[in-house]
Amino acid sequence: MRDQNLSGSWDWNLRTNDVRWSERWKAMLGCEDLDVSASPDEWFTRVHRDDVHAVREGLETHLATGRGAWESEHRMMHRNGTFRWVRCRAAAIRDGSGIPTRLAGSLMDITQTKVADALTGLPNRVQFVDILESAIDRTEREHEYAFAVLVVRLERLSIESLGPMTTDRLLVAVADRLAWSLRSTDVVSSAISAHSVARVASEEFTVLLDDIADERDAVRVAGRLREVIEEPYIVGGEELLASATIGIASSMTGYLRAEDMLRDAGTALRRAQVKGVGCELHRTHLLPV
């Protein structure tokens, strides 16, 4: 994660419709001077499609009413294709007649506070959905590209008997093993980053397997992850055990929405739980691990 205190400024001349972006503003989004023009579209085209309407509407309301300052938290696309959460503040500067002539503001990167799981430091569901949406968008541009999503549910944790502190330490150990296993496996390409593993619920993780050859790759990685998770843990001098069930959804099904893919991976997970098996691929026969 980048420094959550990274911030930049901008100054919008409403009469000429030109904007001056500070060097920090550009650096926050991975841009260089030649990448960024003076057009306001440099801002709006980078705003996530689910956020852009509220951003435009909020600015228009602020300029029309002249009340206080405007503030928004929304997602903006970094040059590398990922989305960063930002907090934007702005205030209009008006002439003697009350007509706004400039809009000056700041932009602060708040991604770490918005998307990091407090216990493990992994991305949370919000960030994982953004990563998944970027992967789905890539399948539309590159027809040979394929990926899979795994939903990993820990099954053998006794919260009551372990106590909250021991349970937390065990969850951190599981998260570390998942990340290490993905970095070391030869099935997953080098494009996999730490963001490929997320913690989305108390005992549930999600994994994005990038650039797979076919669905068998996803099944093979799922089997490896289960083996790694089930190796004993030493926590506070005590040996602890955990097991996992994994649901898989492949981009080869043709998904257009991240939530649909997560839903199907969750459905496969529940089927595997009912059948008492280690993993299942959505909409196919049961696959052994």
Assigned CATH for 116-281: 3.30.70.270
pLDDT at position 92 over 50: yes
Residue-level pLDDT at 257 = 92
Which residues, other chains included, contact 222 with Cβ-Cβ below 8 Å and sequence gap of 6+? 150, 246, 248, 278, 279, 289
How sure is the predictor about 123, in pLDDT bands with cuts at 50, 70 and 90?
confident
pLDDT given at position 105: 94
pLDDT score of 66 = 73
Predicted local distance difference test score (pLDDT) of residue 20: 95
Percent of the chain scored above 70 by pLDDT?
Answer: 89
Fold of 7-113: Beta-Lactamase (3.30.450)
Region 33-55 average pLDDT? 90
Selection from 32, 77, 35 nearest residue 52 by Cα: 77
* R_g (Cα) of the chain, nearest Å: 23
Question: What is the average pLDDT across 33-46?
Answer: 89
Rounded Cα distance, 226 and 63, in Å: 55
Does residue 288 register a pLDDT over 60?
Answer: no
Selected residue with higher pLDDT from 189 and 285? 285
User: Residue 287 pLDDT > 50, yes or no?
Assistant: no
pLDDT tier for residue 67 given thresholds of 50, 70 and 90: confident
Q: Which residue has the higher pLDDT, 136 or 288?
A: 136
pTM for this predicted structure: 0.62
- Over the stretch 257-280, which tens digit does the pLDDT of each residue have? 999 999 999 999 999 999 888 888
Task: Say what the pLDDT of residue 5 is.
Answer: 53
The ranges assigned to domains in the chain are: 7-113, 116-281
User: Over the stretch 142-198, which tens digit does the pLDDT of each residue have?
Assistant: 989 999 999 999 986 654 567 778 888 888 999 888 888 886 543 333 333 434 788
pLDDT at 184: 53
Instruction: Concatenate the DSSP letters of all residues of 143-212 into one string.
Output: TT---EEEEEEE----HHHH-HHHHHHHHHHHHHHHHHHHHH-SSS-TT--GGGEEEEETTEEEEEE-S-
pLDDT over threshold 50, residue 202: yes
Alpha-carbon distance of 27 to 79, in angstroms, equals 10
Cα torsion 156, 158, 163, 164: sign: positive
